[in-house]
């Protein structure tokens, strides 16, 4: 069995597999309590009779498999959000984590402006080799029109057995005719380390995107390669937006940094098999080198295991924002028909003994379903050096640094895909002949004209407020003078909106530079541009260079 952590919810289906879930619950459970055994049998009998009665006698004909699936979904929805049924298509996501590979052509797709669009391409695989490009819009896959299909279904269509062929019909910017591609699926190796390099004198920056099979060895080898280049004086490990992966992988990566013999994490559940302690079994690679771990609200599960161990053992300083708060362990049980049940079987605890699971995870459960007192989770614990840490709310960083919020204007540009579309236009423009242009005033002016051509209209917060106020005024019969003044204010807001582009010019310039860097220099170039204005990264650099302050963070007891 594989212990998995949070990744996007996996789709579920199939009558036989759903029935098997019920049978497994009965046949494999050791019943010490006769009363409990009787309750389970009565419940299964009731479930079956209700199901059969509705299928046979409901006024409208019902699909038996879909109805059973709805029943299974109803049961699982009463539990935590990580206990899910996984159908055959969903197994690709499990395989990705457990093997570090999947069958595909090396593209990532999203919905942009209503079209299935290639948002990134993995170097070295079929899509890149055959000339597919970011921004290409996929019209058909194997002659199947993708219009109105769920994105999850389309992704499942693109993936498949390595060696199998797949046909695409593509729309491309500046091309009137449709393009066709016939690609052969390959075994795509997932990169855990998205970026690793020296970014300052002796300081290494590593961005770890996930904890799949092999991430420990990949991270260790990455550091060894960098050690051969130069002396490492400090490490910044970026776990922001890393939603987790395998428990074993989290332990392996943590083992690179913490002392041998240190408790990294422990798990506890109802069964004796779930009671485990994971201890660092190898010598750390950089035992004395200062370490900073970047976390944010999207750092979850396996990321929190690593961050919690580093904090509790006083091995490094956490910088950023409070983490997500997922302290539940899932076990994947194989059913049949290539389906699985991912079920929460235990909680994990950091070395100090704290659970970081957000306390309200059972918020959807019917009253009386569980016997748990979530208020008891808010307890103080201490690190090795005696610093206070807390449970039941994620992991608080040692140094909180909050990133500036994106402006409403730029947010609307991104939601409408305007920056993405303009970058696609630039890539295909004959003016630049395949050379990345400088993001200067001339390019920004071109972008503004592009927005005008595409009829982009910004909806400012002031407009929303005026509209709401006008509705209230008319409903409550405010005076005509008030409505007149409101119209004057409305005119001022419209006039000011014309200058929104100029007000946010610097932010637009940064976003456009990031998008163009991803087109011309891949993920590496994109990350390098992002770091230039990253306040959390800058705070980490300043802290790791200031040894007295760094040591103070690790030893000061509140």
Helices vs strands, H then E, count in the chain: 18, 22
Host H or E run for residue 47:
helix 34-57
Is 272 annotated as catalytic?
A: no
Say if CB 270 and CB 215 are below 8 A apart: no
What is the rounded CA–CA span in Å between residue 108 and residue 531?
Answer: 23
> Comparing C-alpha atoms, which of 108, 174, 111 is closest to residue 416?
111
C-alpha dist (Å) from residue 140 to 30, 43, 105, 428: 51, 46, 15, 22
- Among 212, 215, 301, 352, the active-site one is 301
> Comparing C-alpha atoms, which of 264, 287, 342 is closest to residue 81?
342
Secondary structure class of 182 (helix, strand, coil): strand
> Comparing C-alpha atoms, which of 197, 195, 201 is closest to residue 241?
195
Q: What is the DSSP string of 117-165?
A: EEEEE-TTSHHHHTT--TTPEEEEETTEE-TT--HHHHHHHH---TT-E
Is 110 annotated as catalytic?
A: no
Burial class (CB in 10 A: 0-12, 13-18, 19+), 481: exposed
- Among 326, 355, 518, 526, the active-site one is 326
What is the rounded CA–CA span in Å between residue 352 and residue 302?
Answer: 17
- Among 80, 87, 136, 312, the active-site one is 312
What is the rounded CA–CA span in Å between residue 194 and residue 238?
Answer: 10
Secondary structure class of 450 (helix, strand, coil): helix
Burial class (CB in 10 A: 0-12, 13-18, 19+), 302: buried
Which residues, other chains included, contact 341 with Cβ-Cβ below 8 Å and sequence gap of 6+?
21, 24, 83, 84, 85, 86, 332, 333, 335
Is 312 annotated as catalytic?
A: yes
Structure tokens at 402: 């909050």
Catalytic residue set: 301, 312, 326
């Amino acid at each position: 069995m594989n212990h998995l952590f949070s990744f996007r919810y996996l789709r579920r289906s199939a009558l036989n597999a759903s029935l098997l879930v019920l049978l497994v619950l009965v046949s494999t459970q050791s019943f010490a309590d006769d009363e409990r055994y009787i309750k389970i049998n009565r419940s299964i009998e009731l479930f079956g009779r209700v199901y059969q009665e509705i299928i046979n006698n409901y006024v409208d004909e019902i699909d038996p498999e879909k109805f059973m699936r709805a029943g299974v979904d109803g049961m699982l929805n009463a539990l935590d959000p990580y206990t899910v049924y996984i159908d055959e298509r969903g197994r690709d996501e499990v395989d990705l984590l457990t093997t570090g590979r999947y069958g595909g052509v090396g593209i990532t797709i999203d919905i942009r402006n209503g079209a299935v669009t290639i948002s990134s391409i993995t170097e070295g695989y079929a899509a890149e080799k055959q000339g597919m490009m970011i921004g290409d819009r996929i019209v058909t896959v194997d002659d199947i029109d993708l219009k109105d299909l769920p994105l999850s279904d389309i992704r499942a269509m693109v993936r498949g057995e390595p060696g199998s062929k797949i046909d695409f019909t593509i729309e491309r910017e500046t091309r009137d005719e449709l393009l066709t591609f016939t690609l052969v699926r390959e075994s795509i190796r997932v990169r855990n380390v998205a970026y690793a390099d020296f970014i300052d004198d002796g300081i290494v920056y590593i961005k770890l995107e996930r904890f799949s099979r092999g991430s420990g060895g990949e991270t260790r080898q990455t550091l060894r390669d960098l050690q051969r280049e130069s002396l490492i004086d400090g490490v910044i490990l970026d776990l922001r937006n890393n939603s987790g992966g395998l428990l074993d992988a989290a332990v392996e990566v943590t083992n690179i940094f913490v002392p041998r013999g240190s408790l990294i994490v422990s798990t506890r559940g109802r069964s004796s098999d779930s009671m485990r302690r994971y201890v660092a079994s190898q010598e750390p690679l950089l035992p004395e080198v200062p370490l900073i771990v970047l976390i944010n609200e999207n750092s979850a599960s396996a990321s929190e295991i690593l961050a919690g161990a580093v904090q509790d053992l006083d091995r490094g300083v956490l910088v950023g924002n409070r983490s997500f708060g997922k302290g539940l362990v899932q076990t994947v049980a194989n059913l049949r028909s290539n389906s699985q049940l991912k079920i929460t079987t235990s909680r994990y605890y950091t070395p100090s003994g704290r659970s970081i699971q957000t306390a309200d995870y059972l918020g959807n459960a019917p009253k009386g379903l569980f016997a748990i007192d979530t208020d008891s989770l808010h307890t103080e614990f201490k690190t090795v050096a005696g610093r206070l840490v807390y449970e039941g709310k994620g992991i608080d960083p040692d140094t909180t640094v909050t990133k500036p919020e994106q402006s409403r204007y730029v947010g609307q540009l991104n939601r409408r895909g305007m920056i993405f579309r303009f970058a696609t236009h630039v890539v295909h423009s004959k003016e630049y002949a395949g050379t990345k242009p400088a993001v200067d005033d001339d390019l920004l002016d071109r972008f503004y004209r592009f927005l005008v051509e595409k009829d982009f209209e910004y909806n400012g917060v002031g407009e929303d407020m005026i509209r709401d106020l006008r509705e209230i005024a008319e409903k409550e019969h405010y005076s005509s003078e008030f409505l007149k003044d409101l119209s004057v204010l409305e005119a001022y807001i419209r006039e000011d909106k014309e200058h929104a582009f100029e007000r946010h010019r610097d932010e637009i310039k940064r976003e456009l530079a990031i998008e163009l860097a991803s087109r011309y220099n891949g993920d590496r170039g994109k990350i390098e541009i992002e770091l230039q204005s990253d306040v959390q990264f800058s705070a980490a650099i300043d802290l790791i260079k200031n040894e007295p302050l760094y040591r103070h963070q690790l030893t000061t007891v509140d």
